[in-house]
Structure 1
């Protein structure tokens, strides 16, 4: 005897992606607009697909509803780090955040990351962030001329700093840090992570210099270990652990 399955809803074609309606509430800031320096919220109702991400929704607004909406994006695959923004109050990459993973029954809020000057809408001035990054010397420093052979590392030596090589400089960690919000001089988690990457590289010879830089009053000791940075990192880097390892290196190494 064969059981019969009763169709209770409309037929769905094989491979069809379901759609849903969602409201995107975007924080707008137009420096030369009629509101002057005042920012405001702008709501957009969109019909989206289950495979769409927040970046797709922003594209839909810009391409179909309001071409003046301004935001950064590049690769759209979570590698370049260009589209870091606050989504429902948390720092995320818009290209990695699926709409269906959020509560679409309520408006989804999108605003610029905190702690950096807003240029327009979701675009912030990244220069203070990159100034700290440059200051920690994010490059291999060695003495002598060009090597005559490859600088060999063991798997164990590489493993020491492997996690911090994953940073994509999206600023999600730094702009999630309460210390950075209140003290614009603090180096911030991203700069310390990139210093860690070279401090613990067995081939590098400038660890002492980097530790001296981060021993400044606005350096690594300003970290309050709130774990905001670790939670915000789209690459899963254990940032708070890396900062603790830099602190330990300062105490145990003579410099």
Structure 2
């Protein structure tokens, strides 16, 4: 008889509860995923009761308060606090987003916070993004030109040519989109994912780049591009309001146009 067992660290238990200070009247509970590679224990959910009158308005403010004043072992990434760096991307109340841009007032009930889904975890809310960045490097995300001699000043574009890049250059590589995509969950080793494909089209659409053909050749693969099933989770979850699905659709159109 076959015996099925869940892999180690596959179940999530109940962790500690940190109660609000006495006298607090504006309290909200944050239920946060905790796991450390330094031990063999399963992940747990720790609960922190926070006095909202003592912190700023965003989820990141709550996390910083927990780290500084309640539990210094909590681990997460953050930097700019302005929705520019993408460091604090995580799953908040079931949505991939940036903690620095997510108002606490928009969240009903207890707030569940997990790391970005379906990624290896370094610790607590910190995902390992090595694979995602390797995929980004694979599409050569920089301007490529063989024109000689190179210009002595900037490479000029018309207003219309520059406008073609709107909705793509604003990507901050938080990977909220890729980690919300079921196709990427199951085929992340071969499917490049929405974030990388958005970056790929950004350079193909750039009038200053001279390698559009070569870039499209590199994407002509059953999995790199065509594993996209137009589920649209990527566009729905983007904290910058971008539309990776539109860029992926345009890449598919360009491939069909080349085939005549």
Q: Give 1 or 2 for the bigger CA radius of gyration.
A: 1
Do structure 1's residue 231 and structure 2's residue 236 form an aligned pair?
Answer: yes
Partner of 1:199: 204
Q: How far does residue 48 in structure 1 lie from its aligned partner after superposition?
A: 1.1
Partner of 2:192: 187
Using structure 2 for the length normalisation, give the TM-score: 0.86
Q: What CA deviation, in whole Å up to 9, does each residue of 1:202-249 have, x standing for no partner?
A: 110111122122222221111111110001111111111111011101
Secondary structure of the corresponding residue to residue 26 of structure 2 = strand
CA contact (8 A) 2:197 2:225 kept: yes
CA contact (8 A) 2:56 2:62 kept: no
Gaps of 5+ in 2: 1-24
- Map 1:110-125 → 2, pairs under 5 A: 110-125=113-128
Partner of 1:7: none
What root-mean-square deviation, in Å, do the aligned CA atoms of Structure 1 and Structure 2 show? 1.6
Q: How far does residue 147 in structure 1 lie from its aligned partner after superposition?
A: 1.3
Q: Distance in 2 between matches of 1:149 and 1:71?
A: 42
Q: Distance in 2 between matches of 1:38 and 1:181?
A: 22
Q: Distance in 2 between matches of 1:192 and 1:238?
A: 11
Using structure 1 for the length normalisation, give the TM-score: 0.87
Partner of 1:30: 36
CA contact (8 A) 1:173 1:190 kept: yes
- Map 1:101-180 → 2, pairs under 5 A: 101-103=106-108, 106-143=109-146, 144-180=148-184
- Map 1:213-232 → 2, pairs under 5 A: 213-232=218-237
Secondary structure of the corresponding residue to residue 57 of structure 1 = helix
Do structure 1's residue 20 and structure 2's residue 14 form an aligned pair?
Answer: no
CA contact (8 A) 2:59 2:100 kept: yes
Q: Which runs of 4+ in 1 moved over 3 A?
A: none
**Equivalences, count:** 233
Q: How far does residue 115 in structure 1 lie from its aligned partner after superposition?
A: 2.2
CA contact (8 A) 2:31 2:46 kept: yes
